A and B are shown apart, each in its own frame.
Chain A
Amino acid sequence: MTRRIALLLLAMLVVAGCTSSGPVAHDAGRVVLPVKQVPVAGRLYATKGRALYRFSGTDLTRLRFGSRVKDPAVTSAGDRIAVAQLQDQSSTIVVSDPNGQDRQILTPSSVAEGSLWALAPAFDDDGHQILYLTDRGKQPSSPQNLQPNDLAVWAYDLATRQTRRLVHPFAYTGGDSDPSYRPGVSDQLVYTTYLYGGAPLEPVARLTWMSLRTGATVYLSPDPGRNFEPALSRDGRFVAFIRGGAGGDDLYVMPLATTYTDELRPYPSDSAVLVQSGIVAQPVWAPDGSAIAFLKLVNGSFDLFILPIATDGAIHAAGAAQAVTHGSFLDADSRLAWSP
């Protein structure tokens, strides 16, 4: 007993000696704008707590979807938005007008093979086609008969309502992610391929270019390594992406060739780091190519930043990144979208 009391008193002294604050709580509340607001050119979309927000100028608007959403996408004209609408254990792709009204569900939440995920929509240049991820086409699975249900890249034609699978993912990797049409051309797309590489095997993420005309795919980043969340500039000349490393997740950018027939060697040939030393996610280009918005982890909160970019000569940051939000705990697993 004496020993326990001694221990307690010692612990009390130790407790008394600790003066630092506790961990930051994850805030489910409102989006917080800094005192000195950073105006956003055009309309920039992000989600927090699975609700969709639009930043425009110094205005912040919460769009009422009536359900939980993630992965907003917007047409180049800004007249339609698409989101992944989440249910309990499934999701669908929904398009609407820029205010979240006039909604139309594009994909089923379940089919004969079971419930489905549909995620990460992305419009083509003229807003007629949507790329998205889904586990449609999987084999029925049970604990006694496990089957892969990896995400594949599919396309949806808004005019004909036809869907088609574009990519077959590697089994048991979780599948592919981050699909986007390449602006300026109608037959190219870029996405992230997830696979395993190295010895011993470890998770690998590779930027992947695909020709819809020939079906050819080319890796734009090395194996091993983790390069993901590609974001194409509106003119299709550059791709911003995240490179994962031991010290964090950095923002890079590199130019794209007109087309590819062989894999880049060395990878990536002309990439430049824009934001280093931190955890960065979900880059998206400004419509005029003058900036990249992204989420960055600051004091336990993912917040929205805008980095001015110069693409004359060697691509580089043209200034410091500015915080659009502060302590807002935005959803870092949800894409950003930016329209004029």
Chain B
Amino acid sequence: MNHSPATGVPDAPGSRRVRWIALGAIALALALIGGVLIYLSPLLALLEPHEATVGRVAGAPAAPPPPLDSKQRINILLLGSDNDQKFQQDALLSQTMIVVSIDPSTHQVTMLSLPRDLWVEIPGHASAKIDLAYAQGGAPLARATVEKAFKFPIHYYAWVGLNGLVRVVDRVGGVDLDVLHPVLDDNYPNDFSDSGYGTERVYLAAGPQHLDGRHALQYVRSRHGDLLSDFGRSVRQQQLLLAIQQRVAGTDLVAALPTLARDLNGHVKTDLDLLRLTQLALFMRDLHPGDVHQAYISAYLRDATSSDGQQILVADWPAIHAYLRQLFGGDLLP
């Protein structure tokens, strides 16, 4: 028989029942929270701070992210780079820089590609190609460089390695896209060889087709057989992002996030918090093809050679800022 420890008087049957119900409820809640923690643990690992620290100049965006219920534009800097054995993990040139600008008020998304050879001022460093910013100071310096040059706030960043891209595409079941011209490259970098220095021959037929992760990476990475070189690659990269978005549109991307995060651990880094990531997944799910727009600044660039002999792209900055005002309205930095 149970007794109250304070009085030694037996408990009334009703009070015992309440205590068991309370204990059961607590156990259930703990199990539920534990289950959710286990389920989401890969996602939490993904969201831990990962930023490279070499030469960091600024860890936060120039403007704070808009509040969750805001209708203000949100800009995310997508960074892609080699992360194979050829390079130090914290000293990677960014091969891809795309600003994804989300306007919640109009439910529109604009993707703006930034060419890797663009000559810019890198805060705290000498002027250089924009792809050097990530190598010199990780995502914070890449963010600060973009903000300074283009005069729009970067609220978040997401970095994806080569394997990360392959895994993302494979996880969503591959992508269906229209390959714009035949892709032939006799010197495509074999990123997954032991040394990381080998090359392989690549062929992709032109036209609509299904691509798995490996072939999608080949499509967006190859540039030797493309007259437009890096610009052609930018077009293909945006095309792939659109294809991924269309692949997940209308699907339960949020529920897939923990699995996706488990696959991507170490291959993706971001400072997006869980709530914003969830919101973005929901936002992406409801996007229609016409809601996503592609933008380039190639019309405002010219080829040049830097004083140290590099082939670079020099920008007509007033024209670019006017173009960005046209794209983003008054959401530029002062």
Contact = CB atoms under 8 A, between A and B. Distances in A.
A25 B174 CA distance: 8
B278 A142 contact: no
Nearest to A71: B205
Interface in A312-339: 329, 331-334
A8 B33 contact: yes
Interface stretch (A74-82, A124-132, A153-161, A170-178): A170-178
A171 B184 CA distance: 11
Contact of B37 (A8, A22, A91, A141): A8
A198 B286 CA distance: 33
Nearest to A297: B176
A228 B207 contact: yes
B210 interface: yes
Interface string B241-256: 0000001101110111
Contacts of B231: 200-201
A143 B181 contact: no
B295 to A, nearest CB: 12
B224 A177 contact: no
A73 B265 CA distance: 45
B289 to A, nearest CB: 8
B228 interface: yes
Contacts of B203: 91, 117, 119
A333 B180 contact: no
B227 interface: yes
Contacts of B182: 150-151, 173-175, 177, 194
B298 A200 contact: yes
A280 B186 CA distance: 29
B206 A192 contact: yes
Nearest to B299: A200
A141 B224 CA distance: 10
Contact of B296 (A143, A200, A205, A333): A200
Interface string B203-246: 11111111010000000000011111001100100000000000
B49 to A, nearest CB: 14
B181 A174 contact: yes
A171 B227 contact: yes
A201 to B, nearest CB: 6
Contacts of B174: 26
A25 B173 contact: yes
Contacts of A297: 176, 208
Contact of A22 (B179, B207, B209, B256): B256
Contacts of B225: 148-150, 172-174
Interface string B171-208: 01110101111111111000000000001110111111
Interface residues of A, number: 72
Contact of B228 (A21, A201, A282): A201
A331 B174 CA distance: 13
B235 to A, nearest CB: 7
Contacts of B201: 89-90, 115, 117
B205 A281 contact: no
B60 to A, nearest CB: 18
A47 to B, nearest CB: 12
B191 to A, nearest CB: 14
Interface in A67-125: 89-91, 114-115, 117, 119
A35 interface: no
A169 to B, nearest CB: 9
B146 to A, nearest CB: 22
B227 A14 contact: no
B40 interface: yes
A302 B207 contact: no
B208 A24 contact: no
Contacts of B254: 11, 14-15, 18
Given A89-B200, A302-B210, 11 more contacts: A8-B37, A119-B205, A174-B226, A192-B206, A196-B228, A229-B207, A242-B208, A249-B208, A279-B208, A281-B207, A332-B210
Interface of A: 4-5, 7-12, 14-15, 18-26, 89-91, 114-115, 117, 119, 135, 138, 141-143, 146-151, 170-175, 177, 192, 194, 196, 200-203, 205, 226, 228-229, 242, 244, 247, 249, 279-282, 295, 297, 300, 302, 329, 331-334
10 closest Cβ pairs, A-B complex: A174-B182, A172-B227, A333-B209, A89-B201, A203-B180, A333-B205, A332-B209, A23-B173, A194-B181, A281-B208
Interface of B: 33, 36-37, 40, 44, 172-174, 176, 178-187, 199-201, 203-210, 212, 224-228, 231-232, 235, 247-248, 250-252, 254-256, 273-275, 278, 282, 285, 289, 296, 298-299
